[in-house]
Amino acid sequence: MGNVWRQIGVTSRHPVKDTFMTSILSSLSAAQISKLSTSTIASLSSADVQALDSTKIKALSASQIASLSTDNLALFSSEGIRAISASAFKGLTLTQIAKLSTTQVSNLSSSQVMALYASQIDAMSTDQIKALTSSQVAGLGALSLPQISALNAVHAAALDGDDLMAFSKEQIISLSSSAVSGLSTGTLAALKASQASAFTPGQVGGMTTAQVSALNSAKTTNGSVQDIASFISTAAQTSAAQPTTSGASASPMASSERQTSADVAATILAYLNV
Protein backbone atom coordinates (compact mmCIF):
# COMPACT_ATOMS: atom_id res chain seq x y z
CA MET A 1 0.00 0.00 0.00
CA GLY A 2 2.90 2.32 0.75
CA ASN A 3 4.08 1.99 -2.85
CA VAL A 4 0.71 3.21 -4.09
CA TRP A 5 0.88 6.31 -1.89
CA ARG A 6 4.40 7.12 -3.14
CA GLN A 7 3.30 6.67 -6.76
CA ILE A 8 0.51 9.22 -6.44
CA GLY A 9 2.65 11.79 -4.64
CA VAL A 10 1.12 11.52 -1.17
CA THR A 11 3.83 12.03 1.45
CA SER A 12 1.96 10.82 4.52
CA ARG A 13 0.04 7.60 4.84
CA HIS A 14 -3.56 7.49 5.77
CA PRO A 15 -4.14 5.24 8.80
CA VAL A 16 -6.15 2.63 6.93
CA LYS A 17 -5.58 -0.97 6.05
CA ASP A 18 -5.12 -2.25 2.53
CA THR A 19 -8.66 -3.60 2.63
CA PHE A 20 -9.83 -0.02 2.19
CA MET A 21 -8.08 0.30 -1.17
CA THR A 22 -11.43 0.65 -2.92
CA SER A 23 -12.45 3.71 -0.93
CA ILE A 24 -9.00 5.19 -1.45
CA LEU A 25 -9.22 4.69 -5.22
CA SER A 26 -12.55 6.47 -5.23
CA SER A 27 -10.92 9.50 -3.65
CA LEU A 28 -7.98 9.70 -6.06
CA SER A 29 -7.92 12.26 -8.84
CA ALA A 30 -7.52 11.31 -12.50
CA ALA A 31 -3.94 12.63 -12.38
CA GLN A 32 -3.17 10.36 -9.45
CA ILE A 33 -4.77 7.36 -11.15
CA SER A 34 -2.54 7.92 -14.17
CA LYS A 35 0.53 7.52 -11.91
CA LEU A 36 -0.38 4.06 -10.66
CA SER A 37 2.02 1.35 -11.85
CA THR A 38 0.90 -1.45 -14.13
CA SER A 39 1.51 -3.94 -11.32
CA THR A 40 -0.87 -1.96 -9.09
CA ILE A 41 -3.51 -1.88 -11.85
CA ALA A 42 -3.07 -5.61 -12.40
CA SER A 43 -3.69 -6.30 -8.70
CA LEU A 44 -6.96 -4.36 -8.49
CA SER A 45 -9.95 -6.29 -7.23
CA SER A 46 -13.34 -6.28 -8.95
CA ALA A 47 -14.58 -3.81 -6.33
CA ASP A 48 -11.59 -1.56 -7.04
CA VAL A 49 -12.34 -1.54 -10.78
CA GLN A 50 -15.98 -0.73 -10.21
CA ALA A 51 -14.87 2.27 -8.16
CA LEU A 52 -13.30 3.83 -11.27
CA ASP A 53 -15.59 6.35 -12.94
CA SER A 54 -15.35 7.54 -16.55
CA THR A 55 -13.02 10.43 -15.69
CA LYS A 56 -10.55 8.08 -13.98
CA ILE A 57 -10.81 5.48 -16.77
CA LYS A 58 -10.06 8.15 -19.36
CA ALA A 59 -6.81 8.90 -17.50
CA LEU A 60 -5.53 5.31 -17.89
CA SER A 61 -2.67 4.82 -20.32
CA ALA A 62 -2.26 2.08 -22.91
CA SER A 63 0.10 0.11 -20.65
CA GLN A 64 -2.30 0.43 -17.69
CA ILE A 65 -5.23 -0.78 -19.79
CA ALA A 66 -3.15 -3.72 -21.02
CA SER A 67 -2.41 -4.73 -17.43
CA LEU A 68 -6.09 -5.15 -16.54
CA SER A 69 -7.24 -8.74 -16.23
CA THR A 70 -9.91 -9.85 -18.70
CA ASP A 71 -12.28 -10.40 -15.79
CA ASN A 72 -11.81 -6.82 -14.60
CA LEU A 73 -12.15 -5.42 -18.11
CA ALA A 74 -15.42 -7.31 -18.41
CA LEU A 75 -16.70 -5.25 -15.47
CA PHE A 76 -16.46 -2.01 -17.46
CA SER A 77 -19.90 -0.61 -18.17
CA SER A 78 -20.90 0.71 -21.59
CA GLU A 79 -19.98 4.19 -20.41
CA GLY A 80 -16.74 2.94 -18.91
CA ILE A 81 -15.55 1.09 -22.02
CA ARG A 82 -16.33 4.14 -24.15
CA ALA A 83 -14.34 6.32 -21.74
CA ILE A 84 -11.07 4.60 -22.66
CA SER A 85 -9.12 7.03 -24.84
CA ALA A 86 -8.38 5.98 -28.42
CA SER A 87 -4.64 5.97 -27.70
CA ALA A 88 -5.12 3.77 -24.61
CA PHE A 89 -7.49 1.48 -26.50
CA LYS A 90 -4.57 0.49 -28.71
CA GLY A 91 -3.01 -1.06 -25.60
CA LEU A 92 -5.62 -3.81 -25.37
CA THR A 93 -4.06 -7.24 -25.78
CA LEU A 94 -5.46 -9.71 -28.29
CA THR A 95 -6.82 -11.75 -25.40
CA GLN A 96 -8.59 -8.70 -23.98
CA ILE A 97 -10.04 -7.84 -27.40
CA ALA A 98 -11.40 -11.36 -27.83
CA LYS A 99 -13.04 -11.23 -24.39
CA LEU A 100 -14.96 -7.97 -24.94
CA SER A 101 -18.69 -8.57 -24.76
CA THR A 102 -20.90 -7.70 -27.71
CA THR A 103 -22.51 -5.01 -25.56
CA GLN A 104 -19.12 -3.44 -24.90
CA VAL A 105 -18.23 -3.64 -28.60
CA SER A 106 -21.49 -1.99 -29.64
CA ASN A 107 -20.69 0.93 -27.34
CA LEU A 108 -17.22 1.63 -28.69
CA SER A 109 -16.72 5.01 -30.31
CA SER A 110 -15.80 5.25 -33.99
CA SER A 111 -12.40 6.65 -32.97
CA GLN A 112 -11.77 3.58 -30.81
CA VAL A 113 -12.66 1.25 -33.70
CA MET A 114 -10.39 3.14 -36.08
CA ALA A 115 -7.56 3.06 -33.51
CA LEU A 116 -7.40 -0.74 -33.55
CA TYR A 117 -4.33 -2.39 -35.01
CA ALA A 118 -4.79 -4.93 -37.80
CA SER A 119 -3.91 -7.75 -35.38
CA GLN A 120 -6.59 -6.56 -32.95
CA ILE A 121 -9.25 -6.51 -35.66
CA ASP A 122 -8.20 -10.03 -36.63
CA ALA A 123 -8.76 -11.12 -33.01
CA MET A 124 -12.41 -10.05 -33.09
CA SER A 125 -15.06 -12.73 -33.42
CA THR A 126 -17.98 -12.82 -35.84
CA ASP A 127 -20.39 -11.91 -33.04
CA GLN A 128 -18.24 -8.92 -32.13
CA ILE A 129 -18.14 -7.70 -35.73
CA LYS A 130 -21.91 -8.14 -36.01
CA ALA A 131 -22.32 -6.12 -32.82
CA LEU A 132 -20.80 -3.04 -34.45
CA THR A 133 -23.36 -0.30 -35.02
CA SER A 134 -23.94 1.46 -38.35
CA SER A 135 -21.89 4.48 -37.23
CA GLN A 136 -19.05 2.21 -36.15
CA VAL A 137 -19.16 0.31 -39.43
CA ALA A 138 -19.11 3.63 -41.27
CA GLY A 139 -15.87 4.14 -39.40
CA LEU A 140 -14.53 1.02 -41.08
CA GLY A 141 -14.44 3.08 -44.25
CA ALA A 142 -11.71 5.12 -42.59
CA LEU A 143 -9.59 2.08 -41.71
CA SER A 144 -6.12 1.91 -43.18
CA LEU A 145 -5.35 -0.60 -45.92
CA PRO A 146 -3.40 -2.86 -43.51
CA GLN A 147 -6.42 -2.85 -41.18
CA ILE A 148 -8.74 -3.76 -44.05
CA SER A 149 -6.42 -6.57 -45.11
CA ALA A 150 -6.71 -8.01 -41.59
CA LEU A 151 -10.41 -8.76 -42.06
CA ASN A 152 -11.06 -12.47 -42.55
CA ALA A 153 -13.96 -14.55 -43.82
CA VAL A 154 -15.95 -14.46 -40.58
CA HIS A 155 -15.54 -10.70 -40.36
CA ALA A 156 -16.62 -10.22 -43.97
CA ALA A 157 -19.65 -12.46 -43.46
CA ALA A 158 -20.88 -9.98 -40.84
CA LEU A 159 -20.85 -7.08 -43.33
CA ASP A 160 -23.94 -6.26 -45.35
CA GLY A 161 -24.25 -4.27 -48.56
CA ASP A 162 -24.46 -0.89 -46.83
CA ASP A 163 -21.35 -1.69 -44.80
CA LEU A 164 -19.23 -2.64 -47.81
CA MET A 165 -20.49 0.34 -49.80
CA ALA A 166 -18.53 2.53 -47.36
CA PHE A 167 -15.31 1.01 -48.71
CA SER A 168 -13.27 2.78 -51.37
CA LYS A 169 -11.94 0.96 -54.44
CA GLU A 170 -8.50 0.79 -52.82
CA GLN A 171 -9.96 -0.78 -49.68
CA ILE A 172 -11.87 -3.38 -51.71
CA ILE A 173 -8.64 -4.30 -53.48
CA SER A 174 -7.00 -4.69 -50.04
CA LEU A 175 -9.51 -7.34 -48.94
CA SER A 176 -7.77 -10.67 -48.47
CA SER A 177 -8.86 -13.76 -50.37
CA SER A 178 -10.16 -15.09 -47.05
CA ALA A 179 -12.32 -12.00 -46.51
CA VAL A 180 -13.64 -12.09 -50.07
CA SER A 181 -14.69 -15.71 -49.64
CA GLY A 182 -16.87 -14.65 -46.71
CA LEU A 183 -18.83 -11.96 -48.55
CA SER A 184 -22.47 -12.91 -49.07
CA THR A 185 -24.10 -12.77 -52.48
CA GLY A 186 -26.51 -10.13 -51.18
CA THR A 187 -23.62 -7.92 -50.09
CA LEU A 188 -21.89 -8.27 -53.47
CA ALA A 189 -25.09 -7.60 -55.43
CA ALA A 190 -25.65 -4.36 -53.53
CA LEU A 191 -22.32 -2.83 -54.53
CA LYS A 192 -21.99 0.12 -56.89
CA ALA A 193 -20.80 -0.78 -60.38
CA SER A 194 -17.50 1.02 -59.77
CA GLN A 195 -16.93 -1.02 -56.59
CA ALA A 196 -17.87 -4.31 -58.24
CA SER A 197 -15.34 -3.57 -60.96
CA ALA A 198 -12.62 -2.92 -58.37
CA PHE A 199 -12.19 -6.59 -57.45
CA THR A 200 -8.98 -7.98 -58.88
CA PRO A 201 -8.83 -11.13 -61.06
CA GLY A 202 -7.19 -12.89 -58.12
CA GLN A 203 -10.05 -11.98 -55.79
CA VAL A 204 -12.70 -12.99 -58.33
CA GLY A 205 -10.83 -16.24 -58.98
CA GLY A 206 -11.34 -17.23 -55.36
CA MET A 207 -15.09 -16.59 -55.42
CA THR A 208 -17.80 -19.20 -55.73
CA THR A 209 -20.00 -19.32 -58.82
CA ALA A 210 -22.82 -17.71 -56.85
CA GLN A 211 -20.57 -14.87 -55.69
CA VAL A 212 -19.32 -14.18 -59.22
CA SER A 213 -22.91 -14.13 -60.47
CA ALA A 214 -23.89 -11.63 -57.77
CA LEU A 215 -20.87 -9.47 -58.55
CA ASN A 216 -21.68 -9.46 -62.26
CA SER A 217 -25.26 -8.57 -61.37
CA ALA A 218 -24.02 -5.48 -59.56
CA LYS A 219 -21.89 -4.50 -62.54
CA THR A 220 -24.75 -5.02 -65.02
CA THR A 221 -27.69 -3.61 -63.07
CA ASN A 222 -26.01 -0.63 -61.48
CA GLY A 223 -23.78 -0.12 -64.48
CA SER A 224 -26.79 0.11 -66.80
CA VAL A 225 -28.32 2.86 -64.69
CA GLN A 226 -25.00 4.67 -64.75
CA ASP A 227 -24.80 4.37 -68.54
CA ILE A 228 -28.34 5.77 -68.90
CA ALA A 229 -27.53 8.71 -66.63
CA SER A 230 -24.34 9.46 -68.55
CA PHE A 231 -26.23 9.31 -71.85
CA ILE A 232 -28.92 11.71 -70.62
CA SER A 233 -26.26 14.08 -69.30
CA THR A 234 -24.30 14.00 -72.58
CA ALA A 235 -27.44 14.46 -74.65
CA ALA A 236 -28.51 17.44 -72.56
CA GLN A 237 -25.11 19.07 -72.89
CA THR A 238 -25.05 18.46 -76.66
CA SER A 239 -28.54 19.88 -77.07
CA ALA A 240 -27.65 22.95 -75.05
CA ALA A 241 -24.59 23.55 -77.20
CA GLN A 242 -26.49 23.39 -80.53
CA PRO A 243 -27.22 26.79 -82.08
CA THR A 244 -30.82 27.71 -82.80
CA THR A 245 -31.96 27.96 -86.43
CA SER A 246 -32.08 31.35 -88.22
CA GLY A 247 -30.57 33.03 -85.20
CA ALA A 248 -33.81 32.66 -83.27
CA SER A 249 -33.56 32.33 -79.54
CA ALA A 250 -34.48 29.02 -77.92
CA SER A 251 -38.01 28.72 -76.62
CA PRO A 252 -38.46 28.71 -72.83
CA MET A 253 -40.01 25.23 -73.08
CA ALA A 254 -37.03 23.75 -74.96
CA SER A 255 -34.62 25.31 -72.47
CA SER A 256 -36.67 23.93 -69.60
CA GLU A 257 -36.66 20.41 -71.11
CA ARG A 258 -32.87 20.47 -71.46
CA GLN A 259 -32.52 21.64 -67.88
CA THR A 260 -34.85 18.88 -66.66
CA SER A 261 -32.81 16.24 -68.49
CA ALA A 262 -29.63 17.61 -67.00
CA ASP A 263 -31.16 17.58 -63.51
CA VAL A 264 -32.33 13.98 -63.89
CA ALA A 265 -28.86 12.89 -65.00
CA ALA A 266 -27.21 14.76 -62.16
CA THR A 267 -29.57 13.18 -59.65
CA ILE A 268 -28.90 9.65 -60.88
CA LEU A 269 -25.14 10.18 -60.98
CA ALA A 270 -25.18 11.67 -57.50
CA TYR A 271 -27.17 8.68 -56.21
CA LEU A 272 -24.61 6.32 -57.74
CA ASN A 273 -21.77 8.46 -56.35
CA VAL A 274 -19.94 8.55 -59.69
The Cα 252–Cα 235 span in angstroms is 18
* C-alpha dihedral sign at 31, 2, 27, 63: positive
Average pLDDT, the chain: 78
In this structure, of 65-79, 110-124, 131-145, the range with the lowest mean pLDDT score is 131-145
Identify which of 37, 105, 53 has the alpha carbon closest to the alpha carbon of residue 74. 105
Residue 264 confidence (pLDDT): 54
Out of 87-91, 220-224, 242-246, the most confident range is 87-91
* pLDDT tens, position by position, 32-79: 999 999 998 998 888 888 889 999 999 999 999 999 999 999 999 999
pLDDT band for position 272 (cuts 50, 70, 90): very low
